[in-house]
Structure 1
Amino acid sequence: MILSMTGYGKSVAVYNGKKINVEIKSLNSKALDLSTRIAPLFREKEMEIRQAIQAKVIRGKVDFAIWVEKDATSDATTINTALAKNYCEQIKSVAAECQIPLPADWFITLLRMPDVMSKVEIETLSDEEWVVARKAIDEAIDALVAFRQQEGAALQKKFGEKIDNIEALLKSIEPYEKSRVEKIRTRIVDGLNSIPEVDYDKNRLEQELIYYIEKLDISEEKQRLANHLNYFRETMAEEGGQGKKLGFIAQEMGREINTTGSKSNNAEMQNIVVKMKDELEQIKEQVLNAL
């Protein structure tokens, strides 16, 4: 079964009024290229998160993010009342000593003082919260894998159609391949007959024709290409990431098609080769997305 490297997964969990959001997406890449954005609360678990992703994702350019949203009531910054009172007393003392008027608006003055509105909060990750967060992470990764499977199934169907098309085109070459031998013979003989007073050895002509035709023979290329088509199908049915292997097989298919084209001194056969190249090129474009 083919898996795509393109995928997306998201999960949301709630714990003590906090919403834990997890998002993961992936694109094609030659190896695993993992980027993470992790909320400070979960930084200590970064290695565990990376290992969980690597175990199921294997390859691709992967972006992972986990962040926390809090209720407005719990996330609001509190006023440091004790510090504000202290500033108030100091301002009154300074005003009395310097004989200057007190502020017209105490609230604006006090709220602008250092640390009155600062929120000093050190969060620690509890075991219970991590269990909830880890479940959300696993769900997001599983959603990504499911997405990849769905995309992979579409790729596999597309590959199957293209392989069938190449196979049908390969079979359509046979009639032209057989007729071109007689065409070559007729063309050479007609050419010799058109030259007046030329006597030639028919046995030698047959030998030369056989040598010439053997050089243009594509039976081996056809057999190898047929083997590659079957191997491509077998590889698609295997479990795990087979994208690189399919890419190598597609390259070998291209070599056989190119050789067939170079030996095809026949317009109809060359047209068929061009069609096979077009089908193969579409396979090569899409195989880059296969895991």
Structure 2
Amino acid sequence: MTGFGKAEREYKNKKIVVEVRSLNSKQLDLNTRLPGVYRDLEMEIRNLVSKELQRGKVDLSISVEETAETKAIPINEAVFMAYYNQLNSISKNNDLELNPSTAIPAVLRLPEVVKATKEEIEPDELKVVKETCLDALRALVDFRKQEGAILQNDLLSRVQHILDYLDKVIPFEKQRIENVRNRLAESLKLLSNDIKVDANRFEQEVIYYLEKLDITEEKVRLKQHCNYFTETVALNEPVGRKLGFIAQEMGREINTLGSKANDAEIQRIVVMMKDELEKIKEQVLNIL
């Protein structure tokens, strides 16, 4: 399910910001973007994500805003002056002019001038980072729950539409039987007048034909599937896969109902049922 969560916390001169985004996916696919100093935390952060989120394509990023004082990298003054004095001496010995505006940047790029010290992260800071990640993940979960409530209402309304369409089939069902009987009778009239038709046999054939077109079982099963879908949506557990299977069964009954309809109005209703079912299937992909 799609979602977004963001959390911020401060630690001394740093502001730690965590953002989490998720898109639909059948399993958990996590991508992390962490500052180099927090790389040792990656596995712990992945474990946090897997506990809070069951599935989804998840992007988690951590950024740190620091004061200028905190970000300043120390310069090895002794090494800097040694390089600069050498350049100054070489310039004088060769009658060259040493321009400080170009010499200073050049010296700063020389080896050992800038102290490349590895920043040590305090345990308390790592704890704050993990807590901020947890806050962001919970914010994303809350976002998902809000979206889930809207999604649940949409699914239930579409299932109810299918049930309403099913009720609209009933009036056309009775008329359909008369239409089939009349069509068969008209077809017999077109035959030669020398052919005699046994009325009892004709009725038997009509009944046999209508039994093949009977849609009572399909209507009952479709209604059961719709009710089961409604009950499953309300469960407080991951039901996305189960709802997908139920939707498939609903589709089978609707397709069979359409193939047996033999009536233009019922076919029109079946098309509207299929339209609602396709929207249900699309939405089910957003459910865990």
Q: Smaller-chain TM-score range?
A: over 0.9
Secondary structure of the residue aligned to 2:9 is strand
Shift of 1:88: 3.0
CA distance in 2, matches of 1:43, 1:75: 18
Are the counterparts in 2 of residues 53 and 141 from structure 1 also a CA contact under 8 Å? yes
1:160 matches 2:140: no
1:270-281 alignment, distance < 5 Å: 270-281=267-278
In structure 1, what residue type is equivalent to 2:153? K
Alpha-carbon distance in structure 1 between the residues aligned to 2:144 and 2:182: 57
| Pairing 1:80–2:76 present | yes
Which of 89, 100, 108 is the equivalent residue of 1:106? 100
What residue identity is the alignment partner of 2:51?
A
Deviation at 1:44, TM superposition (A): 1.1
TM-aligned CA distance change 1:88 to 1:39, over 3 Å: closer
Give yes or no for the alignment of 1:198 onto 2:195. yes
Residues 119 and 8 from structure 1, CA distance in 2 versus in 1: closer, same or farther, beyond 3 angstroms? farther
Question: Which amino acid in the other structure matches residue 26 of structure 1?
Answer: S
Which of 13, 17, 40 aligns to 1:17? It is: 13
CA contact (8 A) 1:192 1:198 kept: no
Equivalent of 1:8, from 4, 9, 13? Answer: 4
Partners of 1:259 and 1:23 in 2: CA distance:
48
The superposition leaves residues 6-61 of structure 1 with CA deviations (integer Å, 9 ceiling, x where unpaired) of: 00001111112111111110000111111111212221121111111011110111
1:249 positional shift: 1.1
1:67 to 1:117, Cα distance in 2 relative to 1, 3 A: farther
Letter in 2 for 1:268: E
CA distance in 2, matches of 1:108, 1:190: 105
Across the aligned residues of Structure 1 and Structure 2, the Cα RMSD in angstroms comes to: 1.8
Secondary structure, aligned partner of 2:117: coil
Contact in 1 for aligned 2:28/2:58 (Cα 8 Å)? yes
Please tell me whether the aligned partners of residues 7 and 135 of structure 2 are also in contact (alpha carbons under 8 angstroms): yes
CA distance in 2, matches of 1:176, 1:90: 102
Could you list the per-position Cα deviations for residues 37-93 of structure 1 after superposition, in whole angstroms to 9, with x for gaps in the alignment? 121222112111111101111011111111222112221334331112212333354
Q: What secondary structure sits across from 1:10 in the alignment?
A: strand
In structure 2, distance between residues paired with 1:39 and 1:92? 39
Listed as ranges, the gaps of 5+ residues in structure 1 are none
1:189 paired residue among 173, 185, 199: 185
TM-score by length of 1: 0.92
Equivalent AA in structure 2 for residue 270 of structure 1: Q
- Displacement of 1:240 in angstroms is 2.3
How many Å separate the matches in 2 of 1:116 and 1:55?
Answer: 45
Does the alignment pair 1:134 with 2:144?
no
Report if the CA contact (8 A) 1:103-1:109 is conserved: no
CA distance in 2, matches of 1:117, 1:70: 23
Work out the number of aligned pairs and report it. 285
> Which residue does 1:170 correspond to in 2?
166
Matched letter for residue 94 of structure 2: I
Q: Does 1:45 align with 2:52?
A: no
Query: What corresponds to 2:65 in structure 1?
Result: 69
- Matched with 2:23 is 27
Query: Are 1:215 and 2:209 matched, yes or no?
Result: no
Asked if the contact 1:9/1:147 (under 8 Å) is kept, the reply is yes
Residue 119 of structure 1 deviates from its aligned partner by: 4.5
The one-letter code matched in structure 2 to 1:180 is R
Indicate the residue corresponding to 2:252 in structure 1: 255
Deviation, 1:116, is: 6.7
Please give the TM-score of this superposition, normalised by the length of structure 2. 0.93
Give yes or no for contact 2:24–2:285 (8 Å, CA) kept in 1: yes
Instruction: For 1:147 and 1:169, locate their aligned partners in 2 and report how far apart those are by CA, in whole Å.
Output: 33
Greater mean deviation of Cα atoms: 162-171 or 14-23: 14-23
CA shift, 1:167, in A, is 0.3
**In 2: Cα distance, 1:107 partner to 1:76 partner:** 21
The 2-side partners of 1:238 and 1:155 are apart by 14
Alignment partners' CA distance in 1, 2:189 and 2:83: 119
Instruction: Tell me if structure 2 keeps the 8 A contact 1:111–1:117.
Output: no
Measure how far apart 1:244 and its partner are.
Answer: 1.7
Which of 279, 282, 286 is equivalent to 1:285? 282
For residues 163-221 of structure 1, the C-alpha deviation after alignment (integer angstroms, 9 at most, x for no partner) is 01000000110111122112222222233245424311122112211110011011111
Q: Which amino acid aligns with 2:258?
A: G
1:246 corresponding residue in structure 2: 243
For CA contacts below 8 A with separation 6 or more, give which structure has more relative contact order. 1
Residue 102 of structure 1: CA displacement? 5.7
